[in-house]
Amino acid sequence: MAISKTIKHRWARYRAWQDDPTATKEPCDREATHYCANCGIEFTGDFCYQCGQRAGTGRITWDSIRQNVMELWGLGTRSLPYTLWQLVWRPGYLIGDYLRGRHQLSYPPIKMLVIVALFTFLMFNFFDDTAETTVVEITNFDTFFDQTMDWFFKHLDWLMLFLMSLFILPTYALFRFSPRCPRHTLPEGFFIQVFISSLLLMFFIAYTLFSMLPINWASYDAINVICYVAISLVLLRVYKQLFGFGWWGTSWRLGLVLFCGAKLYGLTAELSYQFYSHYNHLPADNKYTTEHCAYSCLYALLLIAGCFIAAYGVEYVKKRLQR
């Protein structure tokens, strides 16, 4: 019984920490008057309004040594390691905190993404022992697509950034009427995908290190399938925590986001080939003509509009049923 109570207590603290990382910290008595040892004035609250020193700062203790050592190695409250730790255990809640203006709880997201992407690039190039990709003359869309994907898979960080950027519009259309993050804007959608890109890059770093273990895998195809399923579950967890829908509501919306992202990826590949073939004077491809690309653009716009109408219709029906 004692073990069960301990587990329940720790789980409750973990859930409280997920909702708010500051929930488990003892707040300062805001009504009490404090004396600032640094500038010599009296104030109320957690911090001195003149110099910013925390209330209760006094003589040096063992905890002071711990805090100074953590700050020396960049392990403070707003440090990169602490933010990455939050991104693993409370990704959606962390993103929601940042969107609501609680920027002091996280490392600057764009700077974090650049650092993680740089580390991913260095690690993949250091451990990559495969031969150089054979350069094939590009004469049609298929060879252009194959060469592009070969380059992307050797630069996984750029591939991840590109793919996540395709999710901004579908996420905006399908999750705009969410209970926890209602009416989020496109700039906020950009930062959502920046956080998710950092999380997925860490996932691929862990996957690469795991695949290097001296284990004779029976089937690498099965490992890749497990990897894809794991990525889908990671995205499902992030979107559920961030937007506050239930499991089913998050699942069908996320499925449409992935579908729209795949269509936008195909459209981007077609447009890129059109520009490449035009400037390199390649022979015309009867399958990927200008008219085909125009129809693809129209299809993508109608698809995004349809997702927005579907999300709005579901919320309208819910409100009607609740009356």
| 16 lies in some domain | no
36 falls within a domain:
yes
Are 69 and 216 found together in one domain?
A: no
Report if residue 240 sits inside a domain: yes
Please tell me whether residues 65 and 99 are part of one structural domain. no
Residue 303 has pLDDT above 60, yes or no: yes
pLDDT of residue 175: 93
- CA-based nearest residue to 264, from 163, 140, 145, 160: 163
H or E element, residue 234: helix 220-243
Does 175 lie in the same domain as 159? yes
My answer on whether 49 and 119 are in the same domain is no
* Cβ pair 88, 199 in contact under 8 A: yes
pLDDT at 75 over 70: no
The pLDDT score that the predictor gives to residue 241 is 93
90 and 69 inside one domain:
no
pTM of the model: 0.78
Residue 131 has pLDDT above 50, yes or no: no
Shared domain for 183 and 46, answered yes or no, is no
**Distance between CA atoms of 176 and 182, rounded to whole angstroms?**
6
| Residues 180 and 58 placed together within one structural domain of the fold | no
The contacts of residue 16 (CB under 8 Å, 6+ apart) are 23, 24
Tell whether 40 and 126 lie within a shared domain: no
User: Other C-beta atoms within 10 Å of 309: how many?
Assistant: 11
Q: What is the largest CA-CA distance in the chain?
A: 80
Is the residue at 286 inside a domain? Answer: yes
Q: Classify residue 19: in a domain, yes or no.
A: no
> Is the Cβ–Cβ distance between 109 and 198 less than 8 Å?
yes
Give residues with Cβ within 8 angstroms of 209, minimum separation 6.
none
208 and 121 Cβ atoms separated by less than 8 Å? no
Which domain, by its residues, includes 54?
32-73
Identify any residues that bridge with 35 across adjacent strands, giving them in sequence order: 42
Report how far residue 191's alpha carbon sits from residue 197's, in angstroms, rounded to the nearest whole number. Answer: 10
62 located within any domain: yes
- Please indicate whether residue 131 or residue 272 has the higher confidence score (pLDDT): 272
38/127 same-domain check: no
Greater pLDDT, 75 or 107: 107
Judged against a pLDDT cut of 60, whether residue 134 lies above it is answered with no
Task: With CA atoms as reference, report the closest residue to 25 among 13, 15, 12.
Answer: 13
pLDDT at 161 over 60: yes
Residue 135 falls within a domain, yes or no? yes
pLDDT digit string, tens, across residues 176-188 = 889 988 888 999 9
